[in-house]
Amino acid sequence: MGRIVVCIKGVPKPGTVKVDKETHTLRRESAELILNPPDRSALEVALRLKDQANFEVIAISMGPPNTIPVLQKVYALGVDDIYLISDRAFAGSDTLATSRIIAKALSLLSPFDLVVMGARSIDGETGQVPPETASLLNLPSITYVKELRFVDGKFIAIREDDFGEEEVEFPSPAIVSITPEIDYVRPPSLKRLLSLKEITPKILTNAELNLDEADIGLSGSPTQVAYVFEKTFVSRGEIFEGEPDELAEKLIKVLKEKGFLA
Point out which residues bind another protein (CB under 8 A).
184, 186-191, 193-194
CB 28 to another protein: min, Å: 24
Measured in whole angstroms, the distance separating CA 144 from the mean position of its chain's CA atoms is: 12
Residue among 131 and 188 whose Cβ is closer to another protein: 188
Q: Which residues contact 108 (CB under 8 A, 6 or more apart)?
A: 204, 208, 209
Smallest distance, another protein to C-beta of residue 200, A = 18
Least distance between another protein and beta carbon 40 (Å)? 11
Of 197 and 236, nearer to another protein (C-beta) is 197
The DSSP secondary-structure symbol of 124 reads: T
Q: CB of residue 195 vs another protein: minimum separation in angstroms?
A: 10
Between the alpha carbon of residue 117 and those of residues 7, 130, 136, 158, 214, the distances in Å are 5, 7, 15, 15, 26
Q: Who's near 119: CB < 8 A, 6+ residues apart?
A: 38, 127, 130, 143, 144, 177, 178, 179, 180
Residue 190 or 207 with smaller CB distance to another protein: 190
Q: Closest separation between CB of residue 193 and another protein, Å?
A: 5
Q: State residue 4 phi and psi, 5-degree precision.
A: -120, 130
d(CA 51, CA 238): 58
CB of 106 to another protein, least distance (A): 28
For another protein, the closer CB: 3 or 73: 73
- Is 154:216 a contact under the CB 8 Å cutoff? no
Read off the DSSP letter of residue 174: E
- Identify which of residues 88 and 186 has a Cβ nearer to another protein in the complex: 186
Cβ(47)–Cβ(182) below 8 Å: no
Residue with Cβ nearer another protein (151 or 196): 196
